[in-house]
Chains A and B, each alone.
Chain A
Amino acid sequence: QKEVEQNSGPLSVPEGAIASLNCTYSDRGSQSFFWYRQYSGKSPELIMSIYSNGDKEDGRFTAQLNKASQYVSLLIRDSQPSDSATYLCKNSGGSNYKLTFGKGTLLTVNP
């Protein structure tokens, strides 16, 4: 089993809708979770980090962490065409210290 699994996508949503991106992980000892956004032809940029169970909101972005179920999600409210990108999740810490990225989910927001 891969350490980090993301919903495969691609995901297409209309402008103004909520985009939901999900990620599951296998290492129960994982301490930190991150969401990165990567525009085509660009390098990944960190957009959200979450360390404890529950929700963390930053503008239109909400990260949700459920350690018991071993999943982390990213919600993008009022999606904009500029949100169209590949979103990567990552965990770190845990028993096997490794900076593991998921394969990414391509999100397209249609005007």
Chain B
Amino acid sequence: SAVISQKPSRDICQRGTSLTIQCQVDSQVTMMFWYRQQPGQSLTLIATANQGSEATYESGFVIDKFPISRPNLTFSTLTVSNMSPEDSSIYLCSVSQGGNEQFFGPGTRLTVL
């Protein structure tokens, strides 16, 4: 399985600011995903990060709010823009090879005041 790291592991941010979360994988992977998980809830897919092209967003998520970059096959960033307290959540990077088994990073715990 791939080894995935995320930075930062946690942050406390002020309303109206932006935070960029980094996801680094120790090997090249086909697919990278960003999820959000609110306390006691299941995983919600935000978007699929596509290497070399624009991310594919799920219903309810837009690029202006969650811009994503994926410059190569081992790295991606998710920015949470113009944050509000409702954005407080755990953000998880996940990777997959060919859409089968999926592996998760340790997550970024975001609190917005």
CB of B53 within 8 Å of the partner chain: no
The answer to whether residues A46 and B42 also contact, given A99-B33, A99-B96 and a CB cut-off of 8 A, is: no
CB of B42 within 8 A of CB of A88, answer yes
Contacting A at CB under 8 A, from B80-113, are 92, 96, 99-107
Q: Which residue of B lies closest to A31 (CB)?
A: B100
Candidates B43, B45, B101, B105; contact of A88 at CB < 8 Å: B43
How long is the Cα–Cα vector from A46 to B97 in the complex, in angstroms?
14
Contacts of B96 in A (CB 8 A): 99
CB of A12 within 8 Å of the partner chain: no
Contacts of A34 in B (CB 8 A): 101-102
The answer to whether residues A32 and B43 also contact, given A43-B105, A43-B106 and a CB cut-off of 8 A, is: no
Candidates B42, B92, B101, B106; contact of A104 at CB < 8 Å: B42
Candidates B41, B45, B100, B105; contact of A32 at CB < 8 Å: B100
In the A-B complex, the 5 residue pairs with the smallest Cβ-Cβ separation, listed nearest first, are: A43-B104, A103-B42, A101-B43, A43-B107, A104-B42
